[in-house]
Structure 1
Amino acid sequence: MILVTGATGTVGREVVRRLPEGVRARLMTRGPATGVAKGPAGSVHETVIADYGDAGSLGRALVGVRTAFLVTSRVGGDDDARFLRAAREAGVERVVKLSAAAVLDPLADDLITRWQRANEELLRDSGMEWTLLRPRSFMSNALSWAASVRSERVVRALYGTSANACVDPRDIAEVAVRTLTEAGHAGRAHTLTGPAAVTPVEQTEQLGRVLEVPLRFEELSPERARAALRARHPEPVAEALLAGALRQRDGAKAEVVDTVRSVTGTPARPFRTWAQEHRGAFAG
């Protein structure tokens, strides 16, 4: 039995869609499973409501599970520790964790990166088999521009000429499914990127071509970016995101690796492909 946490999330729901026919999976959500994706015909999945803060619900979710896909998002919290403790007690043998590529950057010392490094260490020390997935930024982060593209034909972001080797969440999910269902990934960390580093200016140009409309890029000042981030996130998280943007400006997120192809046999999708397949979100 495979447990997929975050089954309604950006990566989790794509993992569910890609699990091979006949694989038994339990899909963990924090609330009613209205956003859970459908697996292929012949899949035998069940849904369970559980929360990292509720040891009883975690124990019930983990009964009979041998492999788990772990996604946590409460920055600075102890959800990983709670899950790994429950998984160990339930006899889980292997955990595949979604982490972040920034943990490899020795100059990255923001809250989010420190939290991910600590969580990785917890997993490595858990006594269970482990695999780490370390993606760059999700291409789907561009969806935050959808409202301004629809209403103003404008993209606003920090540091327009800074490059990020962002990755399609579907490619992350493809790799995750391989690590969950195939041998040979225990004790390994997979860094995941797209096929090329792209800047916000280049993303704006590619979106405009896909939509067949002229789009304008407007660079945010650090002050405006900080205000926007603090409106959506706690202040420490907002500051961590700003620190990450500075590292991107300095070239820390531009390196491309071919892990998606080496694990799945298929090259990573470029940003333009992601944009074409999500054009409806920007077109209104």
Structure 2
Amino acid sequence: MILVTGATGTIGREVLRGLPAGVPVRVMAREPSRVVGAPDGTETVAGDYTDPGSLERALRGVRRAFVLTSRVGGDDDARFVRAARSAGVRHLVKLSAAAVADGGAHDLITRWHRANEELLRGSGMEWTVLRPRAFMSNTLSWAASIGSDRVVRTLYGHSVNVCVDPRDVAAAAVCALTEDGHEGRVHTLTGPEPISAVEQTAQLGRLLGAPLRFQELSPEQARAALSRRHPSSVVEALLEGAERQRAGAKARAEDTVLRLTGRPARTFLTWARDHITAFGGGPDAAGAGRHGPSGGLRAG
């Protein structure tokens, strides 16, 4: 039995879709009604990291588990690891972050991921760590301003990140959950090439059939914008991460997706084309992005 947590989120949904037919799967979710796209025969149970009884029920009979937590600074991982060890789970596949390996990264989010990785290593169970760079889907936060005034606003428009398609992260997780040989391994997951927000903006504009304007925010403006969505400690961590990106810490591409799945990591253009409706585009816009001239864009 494989247990999937975080199945209502960006990565967990794709993990569910990628699991092969015939594999016994259980999903733990706070709101089971929100779980969609699960394979036929998937068992869905209500569970919460803060509820030991629900963890015990969710983990009963589980051999491998996909662990995704999001409460930065919290002890959800410690609670889950204790329950998994008690339940006799053999192997945990943990979603972490590539910044853990960045020697200059000491922000709150990275320290939390590092502590959770150390917890996993000391658990006595087999483990696999997945360390993705930023998700391409983070650009969905631009959809509102693109729709309202055809503009993208963010920090450091020319700094680059080898951002990764969430579907590729999920595919790596499926490999670790269904194959032997991933025990004790760390998989760093990136896209095929570094790309800047300015380049992403240009590619989205091309797919939409109308140029978009890029407006670079100052750190103060970015802090104000982020503070509307995150607590101050997380805001400062995100701003520190942006500074590391500007310094070039997030520009190195890895071939891990190719090695694990047998196919190259998807480009940002591919991700954007597949999600263009979220930015106000339609099927015609997606088709133009696929078949039209490249215009000098880095189109994979």
Question: TM-score range, shorter-chain basis?
Answer: over 0.9
Q: Secondary structure at the match of 2:279?
A: helix
Match of 1:258 in 2: 255
CA distance in 2, matches of 1:93, 1:36: 27
Match of 2:4 in 1: 4
Q: Which residues of structure 1 form unaligned runs of 5+?
A: none
CA distance in 1, matches of 2:12, 2:160: 26
Deviations 1:86-139 (A, max 9, x none): 000000000000000000001100000000000000001000000000000000
The 8 Å contact of residues 89 and 125 in structure 2, kept in 1 or not, is answered as yes
Match of 1:230 in 2: 227
Q: Which residues of structure 2 form unaligned runs of 5+?
A: 282-300
Match of 2:104 in 1: 107
2:30 maps to a residue whose letter is R
1:74 aligns with 2:71: yes
1:176 aligns with 2:173: yes
Match of 1:147 in 2: 144
CA distance in 2, matches of 1:275, 1:74: 28
CA distance in 2, matches of 1:33, 1:134: 29
In the TM superposition, structure 1's runs of 4+ consecutive aligned residues that sit over 3 Å from their partners are none
Match of 1:125 in 2: 122
* RMSD of aligned residue pairs (Cα, Å): 0.8
Deviation of the 1:65 alpha carbon: 0.4
1:26 maps to a residue whose letter is R
Deviation of the 1:230 alpha carbon: 1.1
Q: Secondary structure at the match of 1:114?
A: helix
TM-score, normalised on structure 2?
0.93
Point out the more displaced range, 29-38 or 130-139: 29-38
CA distance in 1, matches of 2:107, 2:120: 20
TM-score, normalised on structure 1?
0.98
The 8 Å contact of residues 68 and 96 in structure 1, kept in 2 or not, is answered as yes
Identity value in percent: 68
The 8 Å contact of residues 8 and 37 in structure 1, kept in 2 or not, is answered as no
Aligned length: 281
Deviations 1:224-277 (A, max 9, x none): 100111111111011000000000000000110000000000100000000000
2:253 maps to a residue whose letter is V
